[in-house]
Amino acid sequence: MSYTTEDIKDLRELTSMGLMDVKKALDEAGGDRAKALELLKERGAAIMEKKADRTAGNGVIEAYVHGGRIGVLLEVNCETDFVARGELFQEFAHDVALQISSMNPADLDELMAQPFIKDSKLTIADYLTEVTSKIGEKIVISRFTRYQLGA
């Protein structure tokens, strides 16, 4: 169980999990950061699974226009209006709209499988799981439409 406060700090920044969760994962992994990271990702997925039955009736419609040539309308839902107005949720919606503008997915399944343009180590599904574990509410990317001039 040899790990440093820097290990804890790094894992917290990567996962946004609580301090005690990070310490517990490092303890269980015997100080191995890679194993601890996997444990934390599994716990994030478990959090998402627990929230699957909840209703996500609030959210935002994110509109993004790139250079006057490409436009995206995106609906992202969450459980409460409080979260929908929050900075992290708003940033997530904007990032997904950028993703759609840039990568032109055909549907939600393709979008979820795409590598995230801001961090290629994550897919959009991974990014969704990360944001869900940070916020603590069910988040759903409901639908989107992408327009391209002349298409």
**pLDDT tens digit sequence for 104-128:** 999 999 999 999 999 999 999 999 9
- Per-residue pLDDT tens for 29-56? 888 888 888 887 777 777 667 666 777 7
Residue 91: predicted pLDDT = 97
- CATH of region 5-50, choose from 2.60.40.10, 3.40.50.300, 1.10.8.10, 3.40.50.2300: 1.10.8.10
Residue 147, SS3? strand
Local structure of 70: helix, strand or coil: strand
* pLDDT the model gives residue 51: 65
Any idea which architecture 58-148 has in CATH?
A: 2-Layer Sandwich (3.30)
In the block, residue with structure tokens 């069910």: 138
Specify the domain boundaries for CATH 3.30.479.20 within the chain: 58-148
> Could you tell me the CA-to-CA distances from 92 to 3, 6, 85, 97 in Å, in that order?
32, 27, 12, 9
Residue intervals in the chain for CATH 1.10.8.10: 5-50
Question: Which pTM value belongs to this model?
Answer: 0.71
